[in-house]
Structure 1
Amino acid sequence: MIKSAIFEANLMNMSPRSILLFFTLLLYGLTASAQYTDKINSNRPGTSQGAFSVGNNVLQLEGGFGFGKEKHEILDTKSNIFRFDYSARYGLLIEQLEIRLNGTYRSDGITQTVGANRQKINQSNFEINTIGAKYLIYDPYKPKPGKKDTVPANYDSLKSWKERYRFKWKTLIPAVSAYAGANFVAKDNPFTFPGDASISPRFVVATQNNWTTTYGGDWAFVTNLIVDKITTESPTIGWILTATHTVNNKWAGFIEFQGQKSDFYSDNLLRLGGAYLFDQDLQFDANIAFNFKDTPSVFTCSFGASYRFDWHNKDEIIEQPGLEKGVKEDESEKDEEGEDEEGEDGDLDEIEGTENDSLKLDRTPFINDFEDDSFREAIEKDLDERRTEERLERERIENEKIAKKEGKKLRKEEARRLKREAKAAREAEKAAIKAEKEKQKMIDDIDAELDKMEQEQGVDDELDDIEKQLQELEKMEKEFDEEEKKEQKEEVKPKKPEKEEVEDDIDVDAEYEKYQREQEKARKEEEKRRKKEEKRRQKEEKKRKKEEEKNKKDENNDDPEE
């Protein structure tokens, strides 16, 4: 286990008669809190000490090995680290006292730069080797001396879930223990201050809070304040904060912050890890650790285990001096009368409850042999009624939980229905938008078709104009042919004989004029032919474009069908 009472509560396995005698008669003597637990509680995988001991006559061995690296930026060195941690704890004489031997053996392979060469050196020794004792000074979890551990004082508070599970400020008061020990250092140790004393003192003040919550499980918070080697030239002050959380009956996790300050070495380390409870006497653990600087930077990974040799057979009671051999007859009779008076006055309901109240056990506690049967029956009847009330209260709370669960289920169903309706509305809106877009697209397509039709109508008009021009040209050709025929007829007509005295130069002029008319006629015919050919070519080009557009339109109409 990690720290004390993390996996299981610490219950006192004592008979009701012994408990009654103990809390009735033991008013001034030294009492022992029940440090022992049914399952192992270990300081691993962290390095802090819990406030509680392992229990009287219990030997517990804790150890592990780790690997890591260190890199020093200024010295330009790199180190491969191997370390072995060990601890032996034994509960001696009383429940509060524990003697402890712990230490760390370390071996480093260092690679360093000397000039232009890289050298590797090995060094090993005990980094820590300490023996000491720890004593529990204050335990807030033990019952106060002089109060009789009878029935709980306020049964009505047990009916209220809020009263039972509300946060209690007194749980912030921690258990406190003190540790004193001695360090043993070998000469020429590379892991300690040069010229360090071979023996030096070590003091630790440890506090521990245990919290058990209904939904959050078990928590433990441990603090260590350390003063080490104060008689040497390099005293060290350290602190460790550890928080442990139980995940279930087998697994637990922890986070730990450790700091130390001295002239030789100062650092802050953070550890994370967990533990697995194999059985009530064996635990396995693992953790990683790293720091936040580069002179040097540190990273290690460790694995370990804890095992307990359990020779603890019962919880011990340290008797008040003079009462070691029991209670005298007159004192027992006096106690019997005192108990009867308390029963008649109803003072039983004014005593604070403990872990062994009648609501947790199947038998009536705190009834001794000095009471008569009638009083016993009255007490048992009263307790049975209270158990019945408690059972009914639990059933009511359970029914409220079920009703709350059903209400939550209905709210979820309503939320799902609203979500489905909102989704359907969004889909309908999207469908409407899509239909509107398709409608707009259809309108745009129709407009495009109309534009094309208008364009095609314009082409037809151009073709009609060209056709009219061709007809006009043909008409002009016909007129020209008619004029030409008339001229030819006129030339064919016989001319009157002229005077024989016509000179040769007059015949020459007539021939020249005739030649000019023929040339002009040929030119006009060629021009008409050229214009006619140009009109035909334009008409054919227009027809070809119209056919191409029509073919494209047909192809576009065929594509959606495909």
Structure 2
Amino acid sequence: MSPKSILLLITIFLSGLMATAQYTEKINSNRPGTSQGAFSVGNNVLQLEGGFGFGKEKHKIFDTKTNIFNLDYAVRYGLLIEQLEIRLNGRFRADGVRQTVGANEQKINRSDFEINTLGAKYLIYDPYKKPKKIDSTYASLKSWKEHHRFKWRTLIPAVSAYAGVNFISADNPFTFPEDESISPLFVIATQNNWTTDYGGDWAFVTNLIIDKITTENPAFGLIMTATHTVNDKWAGFLEYQVQKSDFYSDNIMRVGGAYLFNQDVQFDANIAFNFKDTPSVFTCSFGASYRFDWHTKDEIIEKPGLEGGVKEGEEDEDSEEGEEGEGEDGIEGELDELEESETDSLKIGRTPFVNEFEDDSFREEMERDLDERRTAERLERERIEQEKIDKKESKKFKKEEARRLKREAKEARAAEKAAIKAEKEKQKMIEDIDAELDKMEQDKGVDDELEDLDRQLKELEKMEQELNEEEKEQDKPKDKPVEKKKEEEIDIDAEYEQYQKEQAKAKKEEEKRRKKEEKRRLKEDKKRKKEEAKRKNQEEKDNNLEDDIDKELEKFDQ
């Protein structure tokens, strides 16, 4: 199987994948993939997950072949609450590396824990816990389009955060040499669950990973897992992992499936490969998961969209909308319906249980008693409805009052900011005026300095004129020594030019000598290589001759 071929299969979380509570009736395992879902195993549940794998790595540049054996484990426990899970996981790796150096093949064995991490995961947001009220009217249930249309709210994922600590041993061959023995690990996990009438259960999990951020070699990663349950027993997965660091970077694809043996046991298998040759990776893994279920609190697990009923706030909003839409007519209609539902045979007409010879006064007394009870009940209902209306008006008044106070506070802050801004502008204007006055004073001082400079320049010009007149009065015979000095300067220049020519000539001779030496060395190297080639050819001929002699002797012996 080529490592560059892209396969399309699907991954598994055999744990009531579409269940919305933390605890599920079936085991909830992160295997066989390496990503972790957003949900925990449930309160007071201990789960063991482990497996082993073997494979090969080939490095094209280093010319190495490596046999790999992995043994990974994970211990998960739901602590205190449904949203919290503590986790200990790691991987032990043993390699046999074969490397060709010259004509010799070397084998290096190495083994150590590749990772060891202890941490905790907490569910931050669960969109399935208190969903919005679903329209269950007859029209919506009758409409095929409404029943099968895509619901955009299912794109909102469940989100959890994981924080852990890595522990590595000294001189670990599978980590960066300068990595610290203890370093942090942070993961943001998201999970989307989808249930379809025709395609089974689907899920999409993503993990954003920041590892060893405090070391000199931090690592960043992304894992995306697509999942699909085929039936109650079988499921498959497709996983794509990206890891990036200065020590090692790779893109890895994993494909596999799992089988649910019973509600507490799961078996799985997967293969993994990458898309490069420095090195190329191909591994096969097998594993299992087992759950110790000590969960005592019952959980109601419903289909997505119906878990936990409707939010209290939304119920209030719906009731308020109904009251606003219906008004007094709606309340009276509800009361009339209640009265009609409570109306018995006495209001409708005479019933068979009353003897026709019975006195009418008895019936009238019964009807009067019923009317009084119904009136009292109606007044009680009206009082309750009025209390609701008063409560609603009180809430509305409080909201308006809160908005007014907030608006006044905002206006007060705005006025305060405006006053501060005006004060700053006033202060800036005063500073600008002071700076302008200082500049004017400085300009006046500069004018005085310029006048002093002009006066000094005039005095210097006068002194130069006097010196020129004195030089003109000097005798002319002093020109001969000057000419002699010029001749000496010319002779010095000629000697310097001669010295430069000699230096250039010596440099050229040195360059010629160096080139001759380089040619001689190259000739000797060629001659030596030629002699080595002849010697190897002679050795091969001798070996071939010995082989021919051995073959002839074997034939002779036969």
**Normalising by the residue count of structure 2, what TM-score does the alignment of the two structures yield?**
0.51
Confirm or deny: 8 A CA contact 1:3 1:41 kept in the other structure.
no
Query: Distance in 2 between the 1:52 and 1:76 partners?
Result: 44
Cα distance, 1:156 vs. partner?
3.8
Q: Does 1:134 align with 2:127?
A: no
Query: Distance in 2 between the 1:293 and 1:189 partners?
Result: 24
1:117 is aligned with what amino acid? N
From 190, 208, 212, the equivalent of 1:225 is: 208
Q: Does 1:175 align with 2:158?
A: yes
Confirm or deny: 8 A CA contact 2:16 2:25 kept in the other structure.
no
Secondary structure of the residue that 2:295 maps to in structure 1? coil
Report the counterpart of residue 258 of structure 1 in structure 2. 241
Report the counterpart of residue 173 of structure 2 in structure 1. 190
Report the counterpart of residue 302 of structure 1 in structure 2. 285
Confirm or deny: 8 A CA contact 1:7 1:218 kept in the other structure.
no
1:205 is aligned with what amino acid? I
Q: How does 1:93-492 map to 2 (within 5 A)?
A: 93-143=80-130, 154-315=137-298
Report the counterpart of residue 53 of structure 1 in structure 2. 40
Cα distance, 1:196 vs. partner?
1.1
Q: Given the superposition, is the C-alpha separation of residues 316 and 344 from structure 1 closer, same or farther in structure 2, using an over 3 Å criterion?
A: farther
Comparing 135-144 with 232-241, greater Cα deviation is found at: 135-144
Query: Distance in 1 between the 2:16 and 2:24 partners?
Result: 9
Confirm or deny: 8 A CA contact 2:15 2:24 kept in the other structure.
no
Confirm or deny: 8 A CA contact 2:50 2:288 kept in the other structure.
yes
Secondary structure of the residue that 1:158 maps to in structure 2? helix
Secondary structure of the residue that 2:88 maps to in structure 1? strand
Confirm or deny: 8 A CA contact 2:13 2:227 kept in the other structure.
no
Confirm or deny: 8 A CA contact 2:91 2:114 kept in the other structure.
yes
Confirm or deny: 8 A CA contact 1:6 1:246 kept in the other structure.
no
Query: Distance in 1 between the 2:178 and 2:33 partners?
Result: 30
Cα distance, 1:7 vs. partner?
4.3
Query: Distance in 2 between the 1:98 and 1:345 partners?
Result: 52
Cα distance, 1:166 vs. partner?
2.0
Cα distance, 1:195 vs. partner?
2.1
Cα distance, 1:110 vs. partner?
0.6
Q: Given the superposition, is the C-alpha separation of residues 344 and 227 from structure 1 closer, same or farther in structure 2, using an over 3 Å criterion?
A: farther
Q: Given the superposition, is the C-alpha separation of residues 161 and 301 from structure 1 closer, same or farther in structure 2, using an over 3 Å criterion?
A: same
**Normalising by the residue count of structure 1, what TM-score does the alignment of the two structures yield?**
0.50
2:48 is aligned with what amino acid? L
Report the counterpart of residue 76 of structure 2 in structure 1. 89
1:389-440 residue CA offsets vs partner (Å, 9 max, x unmatched) = xxxxxxxxxxxxxxxxxxxxxxxxxxxxxxxxxxxxxxxxxxxxxxxxxxxx
Q: Given the superposition, is the C-alpha separation of residues 290 and 8 from structure 1 closer, same or farther in structure 2, using an over 3 Å criterion?
A: closer
Query: Distance in 2 between the 1:2 and 1:343 partners?
Result: 54
Query: Distance in 2 between the 1:263 and 1:198 partners?
Result: 18
Structure 2 stretches of 5 or more lacking a match?
Answer: 1-9, 301-319, 324-329, 336-376, 378-558
Cα distance, 1:345 vs. partner?
8.0
2:247 is aligned with what amino acid? F
Structure 1 stretches of 5 or more lacking a match?
Answer: 11-32, 318-337, 348-373, 375-562
Confirm or deny: 8 A CA contact 2:43 2:82 kept in the other structure.
yes
Secondary structure of the residue that 2:290 maps to in structure 1? strand
Cα distance, 1:34 vs. partner?
2.1
Q: Given the superposition, is the C-alpha separation of residues 159 and 346 from structure 1 closer, same or farther in structure 2, using an over 3 Å criterion?
A: farther
Confirm or deny: 8 A CA contact 1:34 1:315 kept in the other structure.
no
Q: Given the superposition, is the C-alpha separation of residues 282 and 316 from structure 1 closer, same or farther in structure 2, using an over 3 Å criterion?
A: closer
Confirm or deny: 8 A CA contact 1:88 1:100 kept in the other structure.
yes
Query: Distance in 2 between the 1:271 and 1:243 partners?
Result: 11
Number of equivalenced pairs: 300
Secondary structure of the residue that 1:164 maps to in structure 2? helix
Q: Does 1:67 align with 2:54?
A: yes
